[in-house]
Amino acid sequence: MKPATKIRFEALSDGVFAIAVTLLALELRVPNLQSPTFSFRGLIPLIPSLLTFVLSFVTIAIFWVNHHQLTQRLSTITRRRILWLNMLFLLFLILIPFVTQTMSLNAPSAPAVSIYALVLFGASASFSFLRYWIHHQAHSTARVSFRSLIGPSVYFLAILAPIMSIPLAYVLLTIPPLFYFLPKSSM
Amino acid sequence: MKPATKIRFEALSDGVFAIAVTLLALELRVPNLQSPTFSFRGLIPLIPSLLTFVLSFVTIAIFWVNHHQLTQRLSTITRRRILWLNMLFLLFLILIPFVTQTMSLNAPSAPAVSIYALVLFGASASFSFLRYWIHHQAHSTARVSFRSLIGPSVYFLAILAPIMSIPLAYVLLTIPPLFYFLPKSSM
Amino acid sequence: MKPATKIRFEALSDGVFAIAVTLLALELRVPNLQSPTFSFRGLIPLIPSLLTFVLSFVTIAIFWVNHHQLTQRLSTITRRRILWLNMLFLLFLILIPFVTQTMSLNAPSAPAVSIYALVLFGASASFSFLRYWIHHQAHSTARVSFRSLIGPSVYFLAILAPIMSIPLAYVLLTIPPLFYFLPKSSM
Amino acid sequence: MKPATKIRFEALSDGVFAIAVTLLALELRVPNLQSPTFSFRGLIPLIPSLLTFVLSFVTIAIFWVNHHQLTQRLSTITRRRILWLNMLFLLFLILIPFVTQTMSLNAPSAPAVSIYALVLFGASASFSFLRYWIHHQAHSTARVSFRSLIGPSVYFLAILAPIMSIPLAYVLLTIPPLFYFLPKSSM
């Protein structure tokens, strides 16, 4: 394989990130706000969608920041597996607007939450492998940290959690983003 | 935090700007123009949508010009808060097509105009904070000007205005874009 | 005004071009092809949409090639009017998928063809002004050529043509793209 | 023709690739998962769509990798035919989400599979011509390899195959992507 240039690798990824994040908002349903009095009641059914929207937005934003930090280690891409792990990550990334809408429109639904968690597990796990091989190519001495295993582990639990309790699954889904904002994060 | 490169910061932002602006047009409803005579009557119900479309387009375009002027001051992004204020700004930016459609399809509706103003207030306020911290990082002596407070202030009034009068709120929404085109603007 | 960097000016424009062109295909309606025998009859109602799709695609592609040739003359953008003429051009560009669908779904409809021609006239005329001022900034001795006036003129006629004859209007709409491919074009 | 800069040629192409790939997921229909028990039955009707989604994603990803490898040979684009062969390739590329959805929603349907194969044949054949002329401009001694003819040939057979057997056509459609992953590929 000829080494791939970083610029197009990043351009494709940034394009997909930008579109995925914008589609999240496209999938919000226009509420019915036609009422004779000044009332926001028409927004109430939209609240679960808006919360899910913010959760997915923040999750994708964190993936972007980490992706950006990671590719700074690269000058060129010399291993085909890095290219294809990135493609696998993008495959899960573009499914996020779809599972966000599935979770919003079916709420509360245990299998819908499971599928949401499954896609985030896929994104998170493929990202961890991507990180491993980029560190490997860069001969980085940084080991795969404990922190990098939190995302895949918590999302894996969130796949199974809805069998017992949907609220528990929601709580699990907010842990990886919150953890990221704790001090001394690996960002 | 390792310094973030400006190129991907701008690439993500430009992608989101380009998609947000294009989605504005996607949300226009195809009019029924099938009539035996040459008549544009089928376009009349589209007029409020088209005016709102132009208003949102110009508003996003001005945000883009200002964003572009602002990032020219940066070489790299060394503060995490700049990254996340930009994300917050993008969060509000991608909601603009959604609230544009909400305002168009419900017109005239006081709460729909309030929500439109609320999202523009969010975009405008997060942009002002972004500007403050970028000037701060660049050790710019430029103070946050009086002009930069016009946007958030007027949009804040426009959130409340529909309680009294919807036309007043529409007038307020056109002030920040018009102000921008006055001579000696801070562009 | 501080000079704007060409890179983001082009990035925004290319983003809008890429999305506008892709939305053309998004607006094609999925045909019903479920039949017991091997038959493409379900595609027949799609033929006008497909022809309009190809026409709009080629028209946007030619705009892109010309836009690209034009911005090569620039190093930085020092005049605010260039920035805003480009925005005006992009405003019309993003309306092309919308008027394409309007023309397809209402066909045959005289006012729908007029509106399609109107948006292309707007894109074409704003592009001519953009070209004029970019040549002006670049101190280019190249005058605005006769060729550059063909687009706006023919599209202007196509706005009026449907009053007399819809097929005539369709013929007019194909002239600017065909003209472009003639030898010794100004490309 | 003035030579075109590679950067915008690639920016437009990458934008279209990113959007085409993301639209694949947009066209998945949100399943009904509201059931009192924990059950994934609502996902069963989605399985053909998901398989087609993965097939189209991998096919587009391979096109991107090849496109990327190819443009590395270019410094500037001096032949108009390269520009327009790329446009022709992009025309077929943006039709992929549309034919993916057509095939999914009509499945099983012989003509829908034929149309899917037809669009991939178009993309594949225009890409082969593009490759030929880029090698030609770069004075590359590399002949058009046997491998580069596999895509167009197999997709051509897949256009005709549904007349006899739909499953045979599906098998043919998976051959070009699988072949790509064999060792000693021309990647």
* D88-105: pLDDT as tens digits: 999 999 999 999 988 888
Residue A81 pLDDT exceeds 50: yes
Query: Smallest Cβ distance to D14: which of A8, A109, A115?
Result: A8
Q: What's the longest Cα–Cα distance across chain A?
A: 66
Question: Which of D4, D20, D109 lies nearest to residue C34, judging by beta carbons?
Answer: D109
Judging contacts by C-beta atoms under 8 Å, the chain B residues touching residue C11 are 10-11, 14, 18
Q: Give the pLDDT band (50/70/90) at residue D172.
A: very high
CA C47 to the chain's CA centroid = 21
Q: What is the mean pLDDT of residues A77-86?
A: 83
State how far the Cα of D85 lies from the Cα of D81, in Å rounded to an integer: 6
Instruction: Tell me whether residue B156 is in a domain.
Output: yes
In Å, how far is C10's CA from the nearest CA of chain B?
A: 10
Read off the pLDDT of each residue in A40-49 and give the average, rounded to a whole number: 80
Non-local (6+) Cβ contacts of C110 within 8 A are B38, C162, C163, C166, C169
- Kindly state the average pLDDT of the residues C58-65: 92
* CB-based contact A82:A134 (threshold 8 Å): yes
Where are the extended beta strands (E) located within A28-78?
76-77
Q: What's the whole-number mean pLDDT along residues D54-74? A: 88
> What pLDDT, on a 0 to 100 scale, did the predictor assign at position C72?
80
Closest to C49 (Cα-Cα) out of C107, C90, C91: C107
C-alpha distances in Å from residue D118, one per residue of C35, D64, D141, D163? 19, 19, 31, 14
**What is the DSSP-derived secondary structure letter of residue A154?**
H
C16 belongs to a structural domain: yes
| Three-state secondary structure call for residue C5 | strand
Q: Is the pLDDT of residue D159 over 80?
A: yes
DSSP string, chain B: -PPEEHHHHHHHHHHHHHHHHHHHHHTSPPP----SS---GGGGGGHHHHHHHHHHHHHHHHHHHHHHHHHTT-SEE--HHHHHHHHHHHHHHHHHHHHHHHHHHH-S-HHHHHHHHHHHHHHHHHHHHHHHHHHHHTT--PPPPGGGGHHHHHHHHHHHGGGT-HHHHHHHHHHHHHHHTSTT---
The interface predicted TM-score of the complex, written ipTM, equals: 0.85
Half-sphere exposure of B10 (CA within 13 A, CB side): 24
Q: Which contacts (CB < 8 Å, 24+ apart) does range A66-69 have?
A: A66/A127, A66/A131, A66/A187, A67/A13, A67/A17, A67/A127, A68/B4, A68/B5, A68/B8, A68/B9, A69/A187, A69/B2, A69/B4
Q: How far apart are CA D108 and CA C7, in angstroms?
A: 47
pLDDT score, position C3? 58
Q: Is residue A55 part of a domain?
A: yes
Average pLDDT over residues C104-116: 86
Res B133: pLDDT: 85
Residue A30's CB is within 10 A of a number of other CB atoms, namely 18
Burial class (CB in 10 A: 0-12, 13-18, 19+), D177: middle
Q: Which residues pair with D5 in a beta bridge?
A: D76
Do the domain assignments include residue C36?
no
The verdict on residue B102 lying in a domain is: yes
Residue A186 in any domain: the answer is: no
Please say if the pLDDT value at position C64 is more than 50: yes
Over 90: is that where the pLDDT of A80 sits? no
CB B70 within 8 A of CB B13: no
Q: Which residues of chain B have pLDDT under 70?
A: 1-4, 35-37, 140-147, 182-187
Q: Provide the shortest C-alpha distance from residue D102 to chain C (in Å).
A: 5
* Residue pLDDT, tens place only, A147-174: 678 889 999 999 998 888 889 999 999 9
Please provide the size of chain C in residues. 187
Q: Tell me, what's the pLDDT at D140? A: 67
User: How much of chain C exceeds pLDDT 90, in percent?
Assistant: 31
Phi/psi at C119 (5° precision): -65, -40
**What average pLDDT does range C65-81 have in this prediction?**
80
Residue B185 lies in a domain: no
Set of chain A residues whose Cβ sits within 8 Å of the Cβ of B106: 30-34
Neighbours of chain A (3+ CB pairs under 8 A): B, D
Confidence of residue D150 (pLDDT cuts 50, 70, 90): confident
Q: pLDDT digit string (tens) for A107-117?
A: 778 888 999 99
| pLDDT at position C1 over 70 | no
Q: Does D56 have pLDDT greater than 80?
A: yes
Which range marks the domain in which residue B117 is found? 4-180
Rounded to two decimals, what is the model's pTM? Answer: 0.88
Cis preceding-peptide flag for B108 (omega within 30 of 0): yes
Q: How far apart are CA A103 and CA B97, in angstroms?
A: 22
A23, closest residue in chain D (CA to CA): D26
Q: Find out whether A78 and A88 touch, Cβ atoms under 8 Å.
A: no
pLDDT of residue A36: 64
Best of D8, D22, D35, D74 to disrupt the A interface (most A CBs within 10 Å) is D22
Residue C4 has pLDDT above 70, yes or no: no
- The confidence score (pLDDT) of residue B46 equals 82
Residue A185 lies in a domain: no
- pLDDT band of C55, cuts 50, 70, 90: very high
Dig out the tokens for A146 from the structure.
Answer: 């404990």
When the pLDDT of each residue in chain A is averaged and rounded to a whole number, the result is 83
Check: CB of residue C117 under 8 Å from CB of residue C173: yes
Tokens of A137: 């190519």
User: Binning pLDDT at 50, 70 and 90, where does residue C185 land?
Assistant: very low
Residues in B closer than 8 angstroms to C90, CB to CB, are 21
| Angle at A25 (CA atoms; ends A19, A28), nearest 5 degrees | 140
* Tokens at D96, concatenated: 């992929």
- Specify the higher pLDDT residue, B141 or A59: A59
pLDDT of residue A187: 39
Please state the rounded mean pLDDT for residues A36-51: 78
Using CA atoms of B53, B57, B63, B66 in order, give the dihedral in degrees to the nearest 10: -150
- CA gap A50, B119 in Å, rounded: 13
| Placement of tokens 């993936």 in the chain | A63
A39: chain B residues, CB-CB within 8 Å: 111
**Which pair of structure tokens corresponds to residue A129?**
């492998």
Instruction: Give the distance from CA B137 to its chain's centroid.
Output: 24
Burial of C171 (0-12, 13-18, 19+ CB in 10 A): middle
Does the pLDDT value for residue C156 go beyond 90? yes
Cα dihedral across residues C5, C8, C14, C16: positive or negative = negative
Mean pLDDT (chain C, rounded)? 83
From residue A65, give the alpha-carbon distance in Å to each of A60, A62, D111: 9, 5, 44
Q: Which residue has the higher pLDDT, C96 or A7?
A: C96
What is the mean predicted confidence (pLDDT) over A68-97? 86
Q: How many domains does chain D have?
A: 1
Strand segments, DSSP code E, in chain A are 4-5, 76-77
> What CA–CA distance (Å, rounded) separates C58 from D17?
18
Closest-CA distance of chain C to residue D60, Å: 14
C185 in helix, strand or coil? coil
The chain D residues in contact with chain A (CB within 8 A) are 10-11, 14-15, 17-19, 21-22, 24-26, 28, 30-35, 38-40, 42-43, 54, 57, 61, 64-65, 68-69, 71-72, 187
Question: pLDDT at residue C143 above 70?
Answer: no
Q: What angle do CA A99, A105, A106 make, to 5 degrees?
A: 90
Percent of chain A at pLDDT > 70 equals: 88
